[in-house]
Structure 1
């Protein structure tokens, strides 16, 4: 493996966040290194000499990770917020419709869980606004990614409990086709939100204020 490959691999392993965003950032680093090496080999250096020089001047991986990880963490927070904002309203609408058509078969559990999910959806929408256009004028709070991560976790847990309630209701109730469909949709939404929230928690821990202070 070449010097550039080693450097890029180390950088990629140290960064965590949305796959596409991370891949784009790593690809940009590789392209910059390759261009710089090409310029220096044209000036008379051997490829290895140029690669060693360019990598040394580019900076240690540890020095790059801190600032780049924050960018990835915010991107992951937006990814999680988007997943919550898109799935939760749909799931709540599904639960509400089912509640009106299915009577008391849901034991009112999804109604309680819907309130938790709704709060998470409002926070998600606020996060998208804060880290989007408003980010030009307002700084992104340091703890926002962690807050989004746990809000997403709470929403996903609500979906998991609702899935269980819907599954039991489908077995005990007479409206099982509708209950089963709602359960499958809720389970799918849970999987989408839970995975993103898990990654967001990991990213948020890497850029937490107490880590930066140590």
Structure 2
């Protein structure tokens, strides 16, 4: 097998974030080309030199799992960083909305008894998720040497987002669309911006989480 064929097969066997995957394939190709050029300098024909370089590099079936493990960890690091940054940012944005664009005082005083417990529960879920994202980012980075199965961390992140988003969406809908929130507040610019930010972050989190779960199914 020549280098181009080998690299094509390696690329097709891998799945993960485009940037890290591209870098890995390019690095593998560069290593093969350097090895082939060394054999060619010793007198081998180019085709024979490439075949020997590919043979020494190892079959794709043996090389790909190591690359795939790193791609899976990379996807987990991206999701962990996203959660660590976006979840606190969303909480901060809504905190500013409630403080600087509050509901009508009369309506606020008549809020239902479940409002504050639901609000606190939403804060706790988001805080725990953001914190877990930070811990997972650390574990898949500096702590990777102590974690034999990085794919388990990546998968748990994806599943955590799948669980977190429906809960936070339901709680957020209850808190923001109830009869106790004034119509003027719901149409104000801060609320619109906070909603846009929330939906954008949620969509990106869901995309990254789905990719993490899909990658970790490739045992």
C-alpha distance in 2, partners of 1:5/1:130? 36
Cα gap change, 1:183/1:158 in structure 2, threshold over 3 Å: closer, same or farther? farther
Task: Give runs of aligned pairs for residues 45-84 of structure 1, distance below 5 A.
Answer: 45-84=44-83
C-alpha distance in 1, partners of 2:6/2:39? 18
C-alpha distance in 2, partners of 1:155/1:84? 11
| Residues 1:3 and 2:15 are matched in the alignment | no
C-alpha distance in 2, partners of 1:11/1:72? 13
RMSD of aligned alpha carbons: 2.9
C-alpha distance in 2, partners of 1:188/1:159? 14
Matching residue of 2:183: 173
Which range moved further: 50-59 or 71-80? 50-59
Q: 1:178: how far off?
A: 2.0
Q: 1:94: how far off?
A: 1.6
Kindly indicate whether the alpha-carbon contact (under 8 Å) linking 1:95 and 1:110 is maintained by their aligned counterparts in 2.
Answer: no
C-alpha distance in 2, partners of 1:5/1:183? 48
Give a deviation string over 1:102-160, Cα, whole Å, max 9, x none. 3369x956654443322211211111222233344x32545211111112333444565
Matching residue of 1:144: 153
C-alpha distance in 2, partners of 1:140/1:97? 42
Matching residue of 1:102: 102
C-alpha distance in 1, partners of 2:129/2:36? 48
Q: 1:14: how far off?
A: 1.5
Q: 1:189: how far off?
A: 0.8
Cα gap change, 1:5/1:168 in structure 2, threshold over 3 Å: closer, same or farther? farther
C-alpha distance in 2, partners of 1:11/1:114? 44
C-alpha distance in 1, partners of 2:170/2:3? 48
Question: Of 178, 187, 198, which aligns to 1:186?
Answer: 198
Unaligned runs of 5+ in 1: 208-214
Matching residue of 1:28: 27
TM-score (norm 2): 0.79
C-alpha distance in 2, partners of 1:146/1:56? 34
Matching residue of 1:210: none
Tell me which structure has the larger Cα radius of gyration. 2
TM-score (norm 1): 0.80
